[in-house]
């Protein structure tokens, strides 16, 4: 049975925000004190600190909602997960695709070094966005004139990353919605391209730049395809908070970076062909309920995230009790008003985080294929 949102937003929000602020402060201290001396040691320490926050979201999937991620891949690829640098290409099907990736990264032992390319607004999100900024996430303006140099410098800075990292790139550029699919279909039809049914046409400039700058030190590309049953409601962050379970299917195919074409046009076409293959796989699943020829690999449900949450609960409960004993806030109307305002602030922050994850908040695309605005939306 789903839990009413109001009953979980406050306690879970209190846990996440207070522990997150502590993590942010620790990250800031390490950034100021360690990074100027050694970027290598800064990254190693930050990985451990960031995981103290990010594991709470893994707990949300594994233990609170009891959701399941079914992994389909070959044994050779499975053994290499977390043992090498990799560029991750994934379709952007739901609001929590990034969190599904975090689950796999946690199982592979590289949660704190799982990076992504994101829009710049994300780094201003309280707690989680700040944590990502300290962790070498790449934030873009969505203007190639500005982003080209940002990408180049960011890719070069990863050359000396001291542990295996994953860099996720959602080349569709936005989350999947029916409105955006219609725009992609019209664009594809007008250009004589394969018309997609379950993915959007990829924007390949960022991917081409990543391959050109990272080919020498990143050995693999992980082709990830995420799918959820069309019979179920799509997974959302709010559904997770309400304890509603779901199953997400994830197929991972490994490609050697050196196998990719050398030219920019060749790399771009390779990416487009990859998404045609993804579309075929997803269409087969949607129509025949058949996702992969491989058997799912059991990735388990480690207790680490549960232990981290229990530790945070003990630390925060002890701190709150001691704070009330010291401050005597509950003995005055001013103190009670302050606490009420704090709870309202927590609710507002949690609503902001949940709202920022929703694909439905974007403006539907309903333009003709000749409109310049659509060209900018769907161009590579």
pLDDT at residue number 176: 85
Spatial contact of 155 and 213, defined as CB atoms under 8 Å apart: yes
How confident is residue 144, by pLDDT bands cut at 50, 70 and 90?
confident
pLDDT at residue number 379: 42
pLDDT above 60 (res 374)? no
How confident is residue 371, by pLDDT bands cut at 50, 70 and 90?
very low
Spatial contact of 170 and 90, defined as CB atoms under 8 Å apart: yes
Mean pLDDT for 46-52 is 97
Spatial contact of 309 and 15, defined as CB atoms under 8 Å apart: yes
pLDDT at residue number 366: 34
Say how many residues make up the chain.
380
Instruction: List strand residue ranges (DSSP E) for the chain, in order.
Output: 68-72, 86-90, 114-119, 138-140, 166-169, 220-228, 247-256
* Statement: the pTM of the whole predicted model exceeds 0.85: yes
How far CA 52 is from CA of 58, 129, 326, 331, 364, in Å, comes to 11, 15, 27, 34, 37
Three-state DSSP state, 293: coil
How confident is residue 62, by pLDDT bands cut at 50, 70 and 90?
very high
5-303+355-378, which class in CATH?
Answer: alpha beta
pLDDT above 90 (res 300)? yes
The CA-based diameter of the chain, rounded to the nearest angstrom, is: 72
Q: Give residue-wise pLDDT tens across range 221-265.
A: 999 999 988 888 888 888 898 888 999 999 999 999 999 999 999
pLDDT above 80 (res 363)? no
Spatial contact of 296 and 70, defined as CB atoms under 8 Å apart: yes
- Rounded to whole angstroms, the Cα distance separating 367 from 361 reads 18
DSSP string, 152-169: HHHHHHTTT-SS--EEEE
How confident is residue 160, by pLDDT bands cut at 50, 70 and 90?
very high
Class of residue 241 by CB neighbours under 10 A (exposed 0-12, middle 13-18, buried 19+):
buried
Q: Residue 191, Cβ neighbours under 10 Å: how many? A: 10
Give percent above pLDDT 90 in the chain.
Answer: 66
pLDDT at residue number 65: 93
Helices 333-356 and 5-33: angle between axes, nearest 10 degrees: 90
pLDDT at residue number 287: 87
Three-state DSSP state, 69: strand
Map out the domains of the chain as residue ranges: 5-303+355-378
Q: Give residue-wise pLDDT tens across range 12-36.
A: 989 999 999 999 999 999 999 999 9
pLDDT at residue number 351: 83
pLDDT above 60 (res 361)? no
Mean pLDDT of the chain: 88
Query: Which two structure tokens, joined as six digits, stand for 142?
Result: 């969505």
């Amino acid at each position: 049975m789903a839990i009413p949102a109001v009953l979980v937003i406050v306690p879970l929000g209190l846990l996440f925000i207070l522990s997150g602020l502590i993590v942010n402060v620790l990250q800031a201290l390490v950034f100021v004190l360690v990074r100027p001396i050694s970027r290598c040691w800064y990254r190693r320490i930050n990985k451990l600190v960031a995981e103290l926050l990010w594991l709470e979201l893994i707990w949300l999937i594994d233990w609170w909602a009891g959701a399941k991620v079914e992994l389909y891949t070959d044994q050779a690829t499975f053994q290499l997960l977390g043992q090498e640098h990799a560029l991750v290409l994934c379709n952007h099907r739901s609001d929590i695709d990034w969190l599904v990736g975090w689950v796999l990264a946690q199982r592979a032992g590289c949660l704190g070094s799982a990076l992504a390319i994101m829009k710049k607004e994300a780094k201003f999100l309280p707690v989680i966005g700040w944590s990502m900024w300290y962790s070498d996430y790449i934030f873009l303006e969505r203007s190639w004139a500005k982003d080209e140099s940002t990408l180049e410098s960011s890719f070069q800075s990863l050359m000396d990353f001291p542990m295996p990292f994953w860099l996720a790139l959602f080349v569709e550029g936005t989350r999947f919605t029916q409105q955006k699919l219609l725009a992609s279909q019209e664009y594809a039809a007008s250009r004589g391209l394969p018309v997609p049914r379950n993915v959007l046409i990829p924007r390949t400039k960022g991917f081409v730049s990543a391959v050109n700058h990272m080919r020498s030190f990143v050995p693999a590309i992980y082709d990830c395809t995420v799918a959820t049953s069309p019979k179920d409601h799509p997974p959302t962050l709010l559904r997770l908070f309400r304890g509603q379970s779901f199953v997400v299917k994830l197929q991972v195919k490994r490609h050697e970076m050196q196998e990719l074409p050398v030219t920019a046009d060749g790399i771009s076409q390779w990416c487009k062909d990859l998404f045609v293959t993804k579309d075929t796989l997803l269409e087969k699943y949607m129509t025949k309920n058949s996702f992969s020829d491989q058997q799912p690999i059991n990735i388990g449900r480690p207790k680490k995230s549960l232990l981290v949450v229990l530790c945070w609960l003990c630390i925060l409960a002890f701190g709150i009790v001691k704070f009330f004993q010291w401050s005597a806030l509950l003995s005055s109307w001013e103190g009670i008003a302050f606490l009420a305002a704090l709870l309202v602030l927590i609710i507002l922050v949690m609503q902001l985080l949940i709202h920022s994850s929703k694909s439905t908040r974007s403006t539907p695309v309903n333009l003709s294929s000749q409109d310049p605005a659509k060209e900018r939306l769907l161009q590579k």
